[in-house]
Amino acid sequence: GAGVSQSPRYKVAKRGQDVALRCDPISGHVSLFWYQQALGQGPEFLTYFQNEAQLDKSGLPSDRFFAERPEGSVSTLKIQRTQQEDSAVYLCASSLAGGKNGYTFGSGTRLTVV
């Protein structure tokens, strides 16, 4: 596609509900990243994929967070039993290879847990 596409744009979840956030990277982009951005803060790294391989998930805040990219293109970030502190914008970014030359970001999904 022309850019990185994320859906939904907005999600309101009740505490305890499971959510799934989708990222469609630019076609051919090998690297895919998920970031979490809390209000008034810069993005915080969550996880990184190279094709279908999840090479780094050190930023996932708890075992309630899970990400996958089974076919090396679309990725899903799943959050189980959402908590209020999960409220944030979740950003997806992709790049041709690694991130050293900069990423292309999606518009993000704003998750609000009530």
Partner 1 sequence: AQRVTQPEKLLSVFKGAPVELKCNYSYSGSPELFWYVQYSRQRLQLLLRHISRESIKGFTADLNKGETSFHLKKPFAQEEDSAMYYCALSGRDSNYQLIWGAGTKLIIKP
DSSP helix/strand/coil, 85:
helix
Cross-strand pairs, 75: 23
Confirm or reject binding of residue 42 to partner 1 (CB under 8 A): yes
Confirm or reject binding of residue 51 to partner 1 (CB under 8 A): no
Residue among 33 and 65 whose Cβ is closer to partner 1: 33
Q: Please identify which residue in 21, 24, 31, 67 interacts with partner 1, judged by CB under 8 A.
A: 31
Confirm or reject binding of residue 91 to partner 1 (CB under 8 A): yes
Say how far apart CA 99 and CA 86 lie, in whole Å.
Answer: 25
Neighbours of 42 (CB within 10 A): 7
Preceding amide of 61 cis, omega within 30: no
Mark the segment that binds partner 1 (CB under 8 A) among 16-24, 66-74, 77-85, 92-100. Answer: 92-100
Residue among 1 and 102 whose Cβ is closer to partner 1: 102
Say how far apart CA 72 and CA 91 lie, in whole Å.
Answer: 18
Residues that bind partner 1 (CB under 8 A): 4, 31, 33, 40-45, 48, 55-56, 91, 93, 98-108
